Amino acid sequence: MKKISVVFIFLFASLWGLWHMSKSRNFQISGQLISHVENADSLIALTFDDGPTPQYTDAVLAILEKYDVPATFFVTGKETENNIQEAQKIVRAGHQLGNHSYSHQQMVLKSYHFHENEIERTDQSIRNAGYQGEIYFRPPYCKKLFLLPWILSQKNKVSVTWNIEPESFADVRDNAQKIATHVEQKVKPGSIILLHVMYESREESRKSLPIIIENLKQKGYKFVTINELIRDGSDGSV
């Protein structure tokens, strides 16, 4: 009986550890993962997940243009295929596109073929939108365990997560001012900020954008794409 309890506790602890590892923002078992990029020049990056959508791409691009700020859009392959004109607009405006999977399913415990299809089809749609730079990968729900990191490392593809995520806090996410204040309190040179701005439900995130940009510019921060952040900073990967 005692033996069984020990085995059970061990199994439970292992599963608990794996579960935590699978959603870590700054650790994966193989390949390179970047959650921030330390630098001496106060460079930071704005990143937007999901989309592009016909409803909100123009509005987001207009804000970025007004403040002359570049950003990195982690798009899904499916939405990029369906809204290719929006993706093209993002590229033409000088922003960066990243791969956020094709169908936005969590990728743990899926087949090799599933991973291959999700990654390659999305890269293709990003190329079809006219983007020519390096394509980084951001896993849906930040979920990864063994196979995804291994496949990405085989492809020499870097995973890019984030280290500021105001929408993950229930007391912050539904108020633009609180979102902006959260970002202002957490930001450091090299920070990668995650926001969702492509769906109707994230009106407050869209509203927070001008406030975040104005506040951080005033503090001397300079917004760059993930490409520029990685090129100009020292690597914040683990």
Quick check: 118 binds Zn ion (CB under 5 A)? no
CB neighbours of 129 closer than 8 A, spacing ≥ 6? 80, 84, 87, 88, 90, 91, 97
Quick check: 167 binds Zn ion (CB under 5 A)? no
Quick check: 79 binds Zn ion (CB under 5 A)? no
Which residue lies nearer to Zn ion by CB, 182 or 202? 202
Q: What is the distance, to the nearest Å, from the Cα of residue 21 to the centroid of all Cα atoms in its chain?
A: 17
Question: What minimum distance in Å lies between the beta carbon of 104 and Zn ion?
Answer: 6
Quick check: 123 binds Zn ion (CB under 5 A)? no
Q: CA 137 to CA 116: how far, in whole Å? A: 13
- Chosen residue from 48, 49, 206, 221 binding Zn ion by CB under 5 A: 49
Judge whether 204 and 179 are in contact, CB under 8 Å: yes
Which residue lies nearer to Zn ion by CB, 173 or 221? 173
| Three-class SS state of 127 | helix
DSSP 201: G
Question: What minimum distance in Å lies between the beta carbon of 141 and Zn ion?
Answer: 7
Quick check: 50 binds Zn ion (CB under 5 A)? yes
Give the DSSP letter string of 131-143. --S---B--GGG-
Question: Mask 4-43, x = binds Zn ion (CB under 5 A)?
Answer: ----------------------------------------
Which residue lies nearer to Zn ion by CB, 146 or 199? 199
